[in-house]
Amino acid sequence: MNVAILAAGQGKRMHSDKPKVLHRLAGRPLLSHVLAAASALAPRRICVVCGHGAEAVRAELERDPGSAGVAWVEQKPQLGTGHALAQALPHLDESAPTLVLYGDVPLIRAQTLRALCDLAGAGVALLSVMSEDPRGYGRVVRRNGAVARIVEEKDATPDERSIREINTGILVAPTAGLRRWLAQLSNDNAQAEYYLTDVIALAVAEGLTVSAMQAPAPWEALGVNSRVQLAELERSFQRNAARTLMEQGVTLADPARIDVRGRLHCGRDVSIDVNCVFEGEVSLGDRVSVGANCVLRNVRIARGTQVEPFCHLDDADIGERCRIGPYARIRPGTALATDVHIGNFVEVKASSIGEGSKANHLAYVGDTTVGRNVNVGAGTITCNYDGANKHRTVIEDDVFIGSDTQLVAPVRVGRGATLAAGTTLTKDAPEGKLTLSRARQVTIDSWKRPKKKVKGEV
């Protein structure tokens, strides 16, 4: 099988300088979703026909895993869907049928496409939808129950406009047949374009069987032509994602208030509160709970860990039975071992924190290796940046760091050491000893607090 994806439209109703197929749904470009569905079919060849913003589309999508081996073609000028598919023909294997998809129809499922291809056999099959409001769509015209042709609304008669079965544009046809039929297309129509839909009547005229399969779910075949439609499809995607999670045993406080913008893998008895966003690859182990208003991106969280509300976790590995937040930020390159506590307004970046250690209040731990059973007091910061380079701090096992301490990297705190509150550490602290650095406290007996001057006073 070949797959041709038509993605040349400008999307004028989006009112955007960005090509329509690069607008994002669930965190990914529309075209990325279509490429994923196409790749799942393991086709011989995939060809994407671009037009408006072709260079930007290709540059963005070539970073997508589903674009490997894709042939990119530019349609210039843009003379309709039939003309667009004709640009792809030189890149298709004529011995295999071709499946035609659209770069702005992101929710189409691979299983639906497989069923459509099976239905086509050696003939032609198109995907249709029964609509209560078919305005704006091409109608499937049948004769004695069989598909005869597709008529666009602007060219339809009043009787044809009353037809409720609409054409989605997605079809499967013999590639050799498409080559013949596309060569016969005319642009003698209301839009002066070469309609791909006209190949249906040509196939019927040749005696080929043309079948129509209704999409199992109407939202699969919906396209994006405006910001309103994009938002509607986003909600459809998220509703489906939420339903899938709940069917797998995840507890969602409100299925309408979760956003999955990547892949979310959950173990048993996972619970997720409202307004949480999951981006990239996120894995939640058994009995993990995520509080309200959290953002998790490329995070792996082991079983039994509790993430309190308003936390941001990015590209990190979190061990078992940890407690994070509320209002904590875990930045890239962080690894937390078992039973670690990261509390209120604590930020951790590019650091490893050992089993049983805790930083419960108002701290910054950056470029640091923290051992086991370490206490990081409130207001502690690791001063890891000298204005040009980053330096590392090492805090060994069983260290107690008092509040309002600054560790000026590179520096090492030995095993079992204690740093007194208010210490600024610029040299290594020996193990098992108390280290402190403070200015001498002085009380000025004769000092008086300044007072505001009274008006008129000299």
> Domain with 43 in it: what CATH number?
3.90.550.10
Q: What is the mean pLDDT of residues 175-184?
A: 95
Show which residues are catalytic: 361
Pair 129, 23 in one domain: yes
Pair 261, 172 in one domain: no
Task: Tell me how far apart the alpha carbons of residues 78 and 193 are, in angstroms, rounded to a whole number.
Answer: 9
Write down the pLDDT at residue 439. Answer: 85
Pair 282, 179 in one domain: no
Residue 446 lies in a domain: no
In this predicted structure, the answer to whether residue 330 has a pLDDT above a threshold of 90 is yes
Residue 456 lies in a domain: no
Task: For residue 4, list its beta bridge partners.
Answer: 47, 100
Residues 6+ apart with CB under 8 A from 388: none
In this predicted structure, the answer to whether residue 434 has a pLDDT above a threshold of 80 is yes
Pair 244, 267 in one domain: yes
Peptide bond into 410 cis (omega under 30): yes
Residue 251 lies in a domain: yes
Residue 451 lies in a domain: no
Pair 46, 175 in one domain: yes
Pair 398, 415 in one domain: yes
Q: What is the mean pLDDT of residues 251-263?
A: 97
Write down the pLDDT at residue 353. Answer: 98
The domain that contains 247 carries what CATH number?
A: 2.160.10.10
DSSP single-letter state for residue 55: H
How many domains does the chain contain in total?
Answer: 2
Q: In terms of DSSP H, where are the helices of 89-226?
A: 110-120, 158-161, 175-183, 199-205
Residue 202 lies in a domain: yes
* Domain termination site, one of 189, 206, 221: 221
Pair 343, 195 in one domain: no
Residue 453 lies in a domain: no
Residue 419 lies in a domain: yes
Write down the pLDDT at residue 450. Answer: 87
* Domain termination site, one of 201, 221, 241: 221
Pair 253, 216 in one domain: no
Write down the pLDDT at residue 458. Answer: 64
Q: What is the mean pLDDT of residues 263-280?
A: 98
* Domain termination site, one of 193, 221, 249: 221
E strands, 267-362, are: 271-272, 276-284, 289-290, 295-301, 306-307, 312-318, 323-324, 329-330, 334-336, 341-344, 347-349, 352-353, 358-361
Do 410 and 392 contact (CB within 8 A), yes or no? yes
What is the domain extent for residue 57? 2-221
Residue 457 lies in a domain: no
Q: What is the mean pLDDT of residues 278-288?
A: 98
Pair 315, 211 in one domain: no
53: left (phi over 0), alpha (psi -120 to 50) or beta: left
Please indicate, yes or no, whether the overall pTM of this predicted structure exceeds 0.75: yes
Q: What is the mean pLDDT of residues 144-170?
A: 91
- Structure confidence at residue 362 as a pLDDT band (50, 70, 90): very high
Pair 152, 195 in one domain: yes
In this predicted structure, the answer to whether residue 275 has a pLDDT above a threshold of 80 is yes
Pair 138, 19 in one domain: yes
**275: buried, middle or exposed (CB in 10 Å: 19+, 13-18, 0-12)?**
middle
In this predicted structure, the answer to whether residue 221 has a pLDDT above a threshold of 80 is yes
Pair 148, 241 in one domain: no
